[in-house]
Amino acid sequence: MRILITNDDGVRAEGISVLAAVAQKFGEVKIVAPDREKSACGHGMTLHDPLRVKPVDWARISDSWDRPSVADAFEVNGLPVDCVNVGLTVGWPDGCDLILSGINNGPNLGFDVTYSGTVAGAMEGAINHVRSISVSMALFVSGAPLHFDSGAQWLSENLGRLIETPMKPLTFLNVNIPAVSFVEIRGTRVVGMGKRVYEDRVEERSDPWGRKYYWQGGVVVMDPNEEDTDVKAVSEGFVSVTPVSLDWTDHALASAIRAGLER
């Protein structure tokens, strides 16, 4: 199996090493990732600037993880979407069987999928008709352990099953793993997207010269009581697996609008 791995935390992030270590058990791995962190870039694409691609000496990047041996690794001065397209051009010009994006440093739940560069990597894979999976560690307390070892163990046991799952065209899987020790993970739930929104999103501040500027972020608000959602599953200690379709059309509403226009 030919596997392409990307992320939005940058090629030197620990999560991508963990993912590569698991993925190499299933096939030949090539890594194409941003040269620096590109979080919250969404499904952006670089169109008006050149993309520079540099080979990476994977074994010498860091000693923080037992870095797996990969066939090729590259860094790109672009976004995760760029990395997928470059990877399919440079890494696997004859075709790719699986695209993995992650493991992200933090959750990608609910509406966050629209902002996430990690999810965008899997989305671009689906657009290119390649089976794709995004993976995130759902950490909610700043400074707490990410427990990548739990992510690695869950993926080692379940990635093969996800690879074999029948998938419709233009769909991908979004996986969120609770950032807890593996024995604390209560199981896996296949669920829909919940609601994860931000209150007081824009904060007005002043610089040392009294000039106003604005800092965007806000307080995360989640509804952990909405049944059959990724938010509820992860809040209760379960891994969430969400099938996401690129067809965002509200077909029922389209029918109603059509009927109204034909009156």
Task: Tell me the C-alpha distance between 27 and 179, whole Å.
Answer: 26
The mean-pLDDT minimum among 187-196, 209-218, 232-241 falls in 209-218
Over residues 106-118, the pLDDT tens digits come to 999 998 899 999 9
CA distances from 17 to 32, 132, 148, 151 (A): 12, 18, 10, 12
Task: Tell me the C-alpha distance between 21 and 161, whole Å.
Answer: 17
Q: Which of 104, 76, 84, 89 is nearest to 18 (CA)?
A: 104
Over residues 225-262, the pLDDT tens digits come to 788 999 999 999 999 999 999 999 999 999 999 999 99
- For the record, the structure tokens of 255 come out as 């029918």
Note the residue count of the chain.
263
The strand pair at 238-245 and 187-190 is best described as parallel
- Per-residue pLDDT, 215: 83
Q: What share of the chain is helix, strand, coil (3-state, %, to 5)?
A: 30, 30, 40
**Going by C-beta distance under 8 Å and a sequence separation of 6 or more, which residues neighbour residue 206?**
212, 213
Amino acid, res. 152:
A
Domains and CATH numbers, the chain: 2-195+224-262 (3.40.1210.10)
Residue pair 79/41 in contact by the 8 Å Cβ criterion: yes
Average pLDDT over residues 146-166: 96
Task: Tell me the C-alpha distance between 138 and 140, whole Å.
Answer: 6
Count of H helices and E strands in the chain? 6, 13
- For the record, the structure tokens of 213 come out as 């500027």
Average pLDDT over residues 30-50: 94
Average pLDDT over residues 199-225: 78
Residue pair 108/116 in contact by the 8 Å Cβ criterion: yes
